[in-house]
Amino acid sequence: MIRVSDIVSEALQNGQPVVALESAVLTAGLPKGMWNNSFGECPSCIDSSMPINVALANAVTNQVIKQGAIPAWIAVIDGVLSIGLSQTQIDTLCENKQVGKVSLATIAQAMHSKHSAGTTVATTLLACKHASATNPIRVFSTGGIGGIHQHWAQRLDVSADLTALASTATCVVASGAKSILDLHATVEALETIGVPTLGFGTDQFPAFIEQSTECDPHVFRVDSTLEIASICKAHWDTLGLKSSVLATVPVPQQGAIQRGTLSDIIEKAESDWVDSHQPPATRTPYVLGALASMTQGKSLRANLELLCHNAKVAGEIATSLAKIS
């Protein structure tokens, strides 16, 4: 069963700007406890008096609303793909320590079993299409997309996010791909599947929580959200293409981690994960959790700042799209 909230349904029918938000970051991507001193200073974008994932959810919601758009958190709730969560549903999802995440290959089982789960980029894009047959959700904000993992020649690990990006006409706002991925291989794959990759204020593909360097893949630079909206319209309406447009946004400079400082940490986290013999779905949350611990919270703070900033940019893009539609 798929359920669209009245607020989101009415907004789509009336051509109002809507921003989809993925809930896997709340259930599997961020700590569910309170901020503590081991993480360093709490970033100003979240409320330190709340559990970290709850505070992030509230901050992202507020950023979207401030730009004049409707936030649409998406998750599987008791077996129902729910598009547009209530505050109570968000809080319950954040508090439940047993809830994980689902992607395209596992969402049907979760729905069949009446489970609750956070949605990844891929399953959130699926929900964007199902939100309305005639007016789907056209803008989606996340932290970083999945892509092609490091050492893919030895162990093929390609995210289902790429499959969804190839087949969903939604503008995805992200700070590039997660730091644990092979950025060059991921950008090559994006080109192969026909996803325009734009750099908002940059001509280099962002490296998620890390600073960019001249060695990073080149992307097409845009300097306004209206420009992004115009490219989206040309891609979908003029050319009739059905793939996503990826609008990449660099992590805010004050939170960016110095490039190169994570490579050894990532290598060790990846090795530890392999040795743990856990299922493939645990790879990303395991490594991200290890990064937060080994960087004394620097990676976590950068992640929170880029999530809030991306939500702001996504709200602006959604508003721009609504104006030119």
Round to whole Å and give the CA distance between 114 and 17: 31
Q: Is 178 labeled as catalytic in the residue annotation?
A: yes
Task: Concatenate the DSSP letters of all residues of 157-210 into one string.
Answer: -B-HHHHHHHH---EEEESBB-TTB-HHHHHHHHHHTT--EEEET-SB--BTTB
Catalytic residue among 41, 66, 95, 178: 178
Q: Is 186 left (phi over 0), alpha (psi -120 to 50) or beta?
A: alpha
Round to whole Å and give the CA distance between 192 and 166: 9
Q: Is 298 labeled as catalytic in the residue annotation?
A: no
Q: Going by C-beta distance under 8 Å and a sequence separation of 6 or more, which residues neighbour residue 20?
A: 72, 74, 83, 124, 125, 127, 128, 131, 137, 139, 140, 141, 170
Round to whole Å and give the CA distance between 195 and 242: 9
Round to whole Å and give the CA distance between 116 and 110: 7
Cβ–Cβ under 8 Å, residues 137 and 170: yes
**Active site members:** 22, 178
